[in-house]
């Protein structure tokens, strides 16, 4: 149980394009989901906490107008990278936790490459 | 900032036990310790978590010291597929929920 699905797994697009990444909890409801970014050979960096039905909470230094988060249902959160540039190329990973107390479960990540 | 510190890398012979240490000296009394691993280009995989008692599941064992300031993840019979980066995490309470702050982790290489 506790499966988190992320889509797409890989995106390659031109500079200036906006890219949407979906994160779904397949077998549980999640009022809170998390978005991370990971650069090569580095650890995961928390970008924001996605809250169902309300605004996301962004970590210091993360531009909320650049990384738009929508958590419209208990099973879906989306991250939109607006007007993406090559420096936004990274591995984006989401996670979610079942409503009962327990560990977070992670998606398989989305590799974003901006040309 | 991450609340844990781990050695950057370790090697382990295939078939031997891999013991991965973690220091979390500022852990609070009701905070759990979580262990995950990340194989290249995948999302982190949950391994085990514990509060103060030792824990065991089908993947690993978790030994937590009595003062809870450190713990050790044990993979009893390491295989080549256990080569990964292992993260020890103590979650941080914030705004009514808990978030994970990842440290640098330990890069475990299992050698044939």
Confidence of residue A1 (pLDDT cuts 50, 70, 90): low
Count the alpha carbons within 13 Å of B75 in the hemisphere toward its beta carbon: 25
> Looking at beta carbons, which residues of chain B come within 8 Å of A90?
none
Q: Residues near B67 by Cβ (< 8 Å), separated by ≥ 6?
A: none
- Cβ within 8 Å, pair B101-A106: no
Structure token digits, residue B17: 């036990």
Mean pLDDT of chain A: 93
Residue written as token pair 């509060």: B51
Confidence of residue A21 (pLDDT cuts 50, 70, 90): very high
Measured distance CA(A52)–CA(A75) in Å, rounded: 9
Q: What is the pLDDT of residue A99?
A: 64
Give me the sign of the Cα torsion angle A84, A88, A93, A98. Answer: negative
C-beta of residue A25 within 8 angstroms of C-beta of residue A91:
no
- Cβ within 8 Å, pair A95-B43: yes
pLDDT tens figures, B33-90:
999 999 988 999 999 999 998 999 999 999 999 999 999 999 999 999 999 999 999 9
Q: What is the pLDDT of residue B33?
A: 93
> Looking at beta carbons, which residues of chain B come within 8 Å of A110?
none
pLDDT tens figures, A53-109:
888 999 999 999 999 999 989 999 999 999 999 999 999 999 998 765 688 999 999
Backbone angles phi, psi at A40, to 5 degrees: -55, 135
Structure token digits, residue B29: 């009394």
Q: What is the pLDDT of residue A100?
A: 53
């Amino acid at each position: 149980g506790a499966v988190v699905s992320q889509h797409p797994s890989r995106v390659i697009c031109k500079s200036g394009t906006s890219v949407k990444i979906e994160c779904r909890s397949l077998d549980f409801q999640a009022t809170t989901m998390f978005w991370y970014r990971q650069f090569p050979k580095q650890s995961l960096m928390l970008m924001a906490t996605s809250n169902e039905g309300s605004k996301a909470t962004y970590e210091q230094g993360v531009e909320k107008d650049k990384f738009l988060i929508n958590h419209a249902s208990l099973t879906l959160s989306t991250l939109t990278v607006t007007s993406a540039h090559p420096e936004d190329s990274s591995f984006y990973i989401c996670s979610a936790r079942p409503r009962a107390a327990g560990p977070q479960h992670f998606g398989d990540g989305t590799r974003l490459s901006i040309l | 900032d991450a609340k844990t510190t781990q050695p950057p890398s370790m090697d382990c012979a295939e078939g031997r036990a891999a013991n991965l240490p973690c220091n979390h000296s500022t852990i609070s009394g009701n905070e759990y310790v979580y262990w995950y691993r990340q194989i290249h280009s995948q999302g982190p995989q949950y391994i085990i978590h514990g509060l103060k008692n030792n824990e065991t599941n089908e993947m690993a064992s978790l030994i937590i010291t009595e003062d809870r300031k450190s713990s050790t993840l044990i993979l009893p019979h390491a295989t080549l597929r256990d080569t990964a980066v292992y993260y020890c995490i103590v979650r941080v309470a914030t705004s009514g929920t808990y978030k994970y702050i990842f440290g640098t982790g330990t890069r475990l290489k299992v050698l044939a």
